[in-house]
Amino acid sequence: MIDLHTHSTVSDGSYTPTELVVHSSINGIRHLALTDHDTVDGLDEANIASKEHGISLIPGIELSAQWQNRTLHIVGLSIDPTDPSFQTTISEAKRTRADRARLIGARLEKAGVKYAYRLTRELAGTDLLGRLHFAKMLVEQGYAKDFKQVFKRYMVRGKPGYASAEWIDTEAAIKVIHQAGGVAVMAHPARYSLSMGQLRKALRDFKYFGGDAMEVVSGNSHPQEIASMSRLADDYSLSASVGSDFHGPEKPWVKLGRLQTLPINISTVWTVHDLW
């Protein structure tokens, strides 16, 4: 089994890198990529654990990137986290994320959520806060009943818990992943609420900027979505990746490594790029 998109406590996941590796091993995963949002801080720990548990670990990241006033997520696989220009990019991304979190906190406080920043910071155990951390805090404090409701009411554009951020642009994100020796993958293309026309434009640009692959199978993709993503991968000459986007047991609809299979004749990112 293969899972090339997962999160740990270093970003907004709920398992530590070691716990993630242990659960992956229990679930029968052989090839695992840890792809935390805008950070590689979990890779050393995951690497040590992976040797103990017989897993081949692909060092990864999920970079937040700008495309036409929207945010896209670009997964970098098989990156060298020590590459100097890559490290510069990550430090900037971390600063952007930390600054945005202060802004989200302030906006929520203004909307009546007391101690929004402090409570979220405590719950997260990191200052690299994401929207999921704020969402968890809001549910815990009783402002909404579940993730679905909390995102809709608070965490999307136009709502009090949303603040835009100036992420790196998509072309630069792809370049820096390549600079670090990695493969650039468009994460969960079906999850951006883009129309088919806009999604095609995004993929066309992604390919034009040098992007290599796209996730054809994601966490809870259904067969129809997989068919349509396979078609797009073929149309834009992108190889296919598979990743659950696992964050933890509190999103029970996404299981670590439990993924639908790819169509048999599709080019996979691991064969095209010799990932293992």
Binding residues for ligand AMP (CB under 6 A): 12, 37, 64, 130-132, 147, 151, 247
CB of 7 to Mn ion, least distance (A): 6
Residue nearest to ligand AMP (CB): 130
Shortest separation between residue 84's beta carbon and Mn ion, angstroms? 25
State how far the alpha carbon of 56 is from the alpha carbons of 25, 30, 126, 202, in Å: 10, 6, 27, 31
Per-residue 3-state assignment (H helix, E strand, C coil) for 99-164: HHHHHHHHHHHHCCCCCHHHHHHHHHCCCCCCHHHHHHHHHHCCCCCCHHHHHHHHHCCCCCCCCC
How far apart CA 120 and CA 75 sit, in angstroms, is 26
Q: b/e string for 123-132 if b means 16 or more Cβ within 10 A?
A: ebebebbbbb
Which of Mn ion, ligand AMP, none has residue 151 at its interface (CB below 5 to 8 Å by kind)?
ligand AMP
Q: Closer to ligand AMP by CB, 30 or 70: give it.
A: 70
Which DSSP state fits 260?
Answer: P
Minimal distance, residue 22 CB to ligand AMP, in Å: 21
Which of the choices ligand AMP, Mn ion, none does residue 147 contact, using the CB cut-off of 5 to 8 A by kind?
Answer: ligand AMP
- Which entry of Mn ion, ligand AMP, none binds 86, CB below 5 to 8 A by partner kind? none
User: Which residues bind to Mn ion, rule: CB under 5 A?
Assistant: 12, 62, 73, 187, 245
Q: Which partner from the list Mn ion, ligand AMP, none does 131 bind, CB cut-off 5 to 8 Å by kind?
A: ligand AMP
Pick 60 or 81: Cβ nearer Mn ion: 60
Q: How far is the CB of 130 from ligand AMP (least distance, A)?
A: 3
From the CB of 132, what's the least distance to Mn ion, in Å?
A: 5
For Mn ion, the closer of residues 73 and 121 by Cβ is 73
Distant-in-sequence, close-in-space partners of 170: CB < 8 Å, separation ≥ 6: 65, 66, 67, 72, 74, 205, 206, 209
Name the residue nearer to ligand AMP (CB basis): 31 or 247: 247
Q: Which is nearer to ligand AMP, 74 or 229 (CB)?
A: 74
Spell 136-145 as b/e; 16+ CB within 10 A means b: bbbbeeebbe
What's the closest the beta carbon of residue 90 comes to ligand AMP, in angstroms? 14
Instruction: Say how many C-beta atoms besides its own lie within 10 A of residue 62's C-beta.
Output: 25
SS3 254: coil
Q: Which does 64 bind (CB under 5 to 8 A by kind): ligand AMP, Mn ion, none?
A: ligand AMP
Q: 41 or 245: whose CB is closer to Mn ion?
A: 245
Parallel, antiparallel, or unpaired for β 70-77 and 183-186?
antiparallel
